[in-house]
Amino acid sequence: DSGVTQTPKHLITATGQRVTLRCSPRSGDLSVYWYQQSLDQGLQFLIQYYNGEERAKGNILERFSAQQFPDLHSELNLSSLELGDSALYFCASSVFGSGIPPSTDTQYFGPGTRLTVL
Amino acid sequence: AQSVTQLGSHVSVSEGALVLLRCNYSSSVPPYLFWYVQYPNQGLQLLLKYTTGATLVKGINGFEAEFKKSETSFHLTKPSAHMSDAAEYFCAVSDSGGYQKVTFGTGTKLQVIP
């Protein structure tokens, strides 16, 4: 158990709909990262938040948005869903937020949310 | 732009044999390199990372990787494969040093034969 929780585990929805994925980081971790894993695109970094602020953006579509709340949990909002958005969405957390992490720092991943768009 | 190439989408080794998973990177700046593992139906786990300092990096579960700038490589090795090592392994590169904005390779599935 990594200590990172994600809900829901599975989500099935229709094209055009909007969903929210939730992530709770490990206790003490200030940074949350979101990733997408799909058959077509492989693993992709989407976005990172650190202590409530956006720190880095990757290949995140404009239809997608995220935020990190004062209690440090994060939500990834996916709207106007398309078939190609079907994927496994992971979040991860770490203590460190930017620059080069010390050797003692590591990332911890949640089990993922599997999104199926029909 | 940064990228990684993982040679071999599938690798099979016998239990007890050497594990060698290959990764070559391309980066316009000094790279920061990572190996992640994904066990069947599970999330990712960070195995090890190279940021600065010693070029031979030791990770969890007996794995290690060596950063070779002259060869633009960061191959992952383990002296003796265990059945529990069967998983998919991803090499990744970042030009920022941190975990953010990493670019992942396409992954190598490791099969361990008893």
Please say if the pLDDT value at position A75 is more than 90: yes
Q: Are strands B108-113 and B10-14 parallel, antiparallel or unpaired?
A: parallel
Contact B98 A44 (CB under 8 A): no
The per-residue pLDDT for A105 is 80
Contact B43 A56 (CB under 8 A): no
Say which residue, B56 or A2, is predicted with more confidence.
B56
Say which residue, B54 or A38, is predicted with more confidence.
A38
By percentage, how much of chain A surpasses pLDDT 90? Answer: 86
Q: Which tokens hold the place of B75?
A: 């191959």
Q: State in Å, rounded, how far the first CA of chain A is from the last one.
A: 31
Tens-digit pLDDT profile for residues A82-108: 999 999 999 999 988 777 777 778 899
Please say if the pLDDT value at position B51 is more than 90: no
Contacts A44 to B, Cβ<8 Å: 104
Contacts A36 to B, Cβ<8 Å: none
The per-residue pLDDT for B52 is 79
- List the single residue in B43, B44, B98 with the smallest CB-CB distance to A101: B98
Q: What is the dihedral of CA A46, B30, A102, B110, to 10 degrees?
A: 60
Please say if the pLDDT value at position A70 is more than 90: yes
Say which residue, B41 or B16, is predicted with more confidence.
B16
The per-residue pLDDT for A7 is 97
Q: How far apart are CA B24 and CA B6, in angstroms?
A: 7
Interface A–B counts its CB contacts (< 8 A) at: 70
Task: Give the best residue of A6, A48, A106, A114 to mutate against chain B (max B CB count within 10 A).
Answer: A106
Task: Give the best residue of A9, A34, A43, A114 to mutate against chain B (max B CB count within 10 A).
Answer: A43
